[in-house]
Structures are given as structure tokens and as C-alpha cells.
A and B are shown apart, each in its own frame.
Chain A
Amino acid sequence: MDERLPLSNRMALRFHLAICKNCTRFNQQLQQMRRLFREEAAADDDAAGLAPEARQRIETALQKKLGS
């Protein structure tokens, strides 16, 4: 999920997951949650851009600085 565990911990985790149905399910759900969030972010991302007001505000700030 986050980082590679040392071998002994990894074996212990695998063993535990093999006997603990809830933990396996929990693990799957966390992965599923991550996937959904990333999919949503990607879908959202394609459409996103600066709002016209924000663009105008930034433009004004830039002009002010350029002129000074």
C-alpha cells in the first residue's frame, strides 16, 4: 500500500491476510478507494481550467507588476 516491508514483516502480513478475511477485505477496500479517487481526479483533471474571473485577476496582477 505504501512501502515495501522488511521480509519478516511481509511474511507475517501475508500469513495474517491468509487467515483474516476481514483484513483482506479491508485491504481490498482501501485499494478500491484509492483507485476511485485517482479515476475521479483524472476525469476531473481533463476538464479543469482557470475560471474566467481568476484568469482576469491574475492578468491584472501581472499587468500591474509589468507596468511597475
Chain B
Amino acid sequence: MNTLDARTWLADHGDYLFRVARRQLHSDELAEDAVQETLLAALSAQARYAGDASPRTWLTGILKHKIVDLIRRNVREVEIPRDEDGEEAVDLLFKRDGHWAEPLRPWGNPHAEAEMSQLRRVLDQCADRLKPVMAQVFSLREVAGMETEEICKELNITPTNCWVLLHRARLFMRQCLEMNGFSKAGAV
């Protein structure tokens, strides 16, 4: 039987909850909000805590709901962006008949630490240039590893739109990484 002590929640579980939230939300600020809302909600719900789960598991359960709420609130508009920056670069990849316009060069396999930290910077910069909804779908799928079906449902977008967004995000990211040095990174 576990017991709750609200006074130690923040000290004991704050960082953990923050990391879980940040992984899904991809933003420090939103993750902080998620932690705060979770702990406040937990205070109100204390009476319903049965004691069979550990406090951390119980708090994490509440956090999951808060994360989904925050994502929904932030992805209000789900129209697929058209004719904007980056889209053209993606279109140039393919010829009218659908074939690749140019041969793809292989990427190297970066190992050196300096090279890795440079690549991390590129990853972040490219991700920042994605449209918010695309970034959200991309990060839930590629980074958090959620199933696509689940992502569509949680973000409340149709599967068709969801797949298009994911595909475009991947094309854009691949292109952005390549233009920023990936094709040369550790080239063999």
C-alpha cells in the first residue's frame, strides 16, 4: 500500500515527469506546463488514489492525459500547408513522372564526437523549420516512436492527412539535413 505526500511530489518526481513530457511535447515550456497541470490535478484527485500503483506511476498516468490535452490545444489547425518555404525544395526531388530527379548520394556514418555535435545542431535547426503540426507528427513518430494510428487519433487528424504530413515532414527533414552537410558527414 502506497501513500501520497503532495509536498514531496515536485522534488521526487518533477524531473522525471518533465522528461516524459518533453519527449512528447518537444518543448521545455510546454513540458513545464504539463508538469504543473499534472501536479495541480493530482492534488484535486488525491482522494481517488487507491494506493495500488506507486505515486510515480499514478502521476505519470495523469501526465499522459495532460500531454494529449496540450498537444490538441497546440495543433488546432490541421490544414496541410501548401506552397511555402521548403515545399519547393521537396518538389524538386522528383520529376513529373514521379522518378527521382537526381541520384541520391549516400550519407556517411559520422562517428567523431565533434562531427556528432555539429550534426545535432543541424537536426535541431531543421526540426525548428518544420510547420508546427508537421513537427508534432514527425517527433511523435520518429522520436517518441508512437504508432502512426495512435498519433492521428490523439491529434484528431484523419489518417490520410496524418500520412501526408508525416511523409512531407520526412522529405523536408531529409532534404534539410542533406543541404546542411549530411551528404558529406564522415563520407567514406
Contacts and interface: CB of A to CB of B under 8 A. Distances in A.
Interface of A: 2-3, 21-23, 25-26, 28-30, 32-34, 36-38, 40-41, 45, 48-51, 54-55, 57-59, 61-62, 65-66
Interface of B: 6, 9-10, 14-15, 18-19, 22-23, 28, 32, 35-36, 39-40, 43, 100, 103-107, 109, 119-120, 123, 139, 141-143, 145, 147-148, 166, 170, 173-174, 177-178
B10 A58 contact: yes
A58 B13 CA distance: 13
What are the 8 A-B residue pairs with the smallest beta carbon separation, nearest first?
A49-B15, A54-B32, A25-B104, A22-B100, A58-B36, A22-B104, A50-B18, A34-B142
Nearest to B174: A29
B143 to A, nearest CB: 5
Nearest to B141: A2
Given A2-B148, A62-B10, 15 more contacts: A22-B100, A23-B100, A26-B104, A28-B107, A36-B119, A37-B139, A45-B19, A48-B15, A49-B15, A50-B32, A51-B32, A54-B35, A58-B10, A62-B9, A62-B40
Q: Chain B interface mostly helix, strand, loop or mixed?
A: helix
A37 B143 contact: yes
Contacts of A40: 120, 123
Contacts of B119: 36
A23 B9 CA distance: 50
Contact of A33 (B9, B106, B174): B174
A61 B174 contact: no
B174 A30 contact: yes
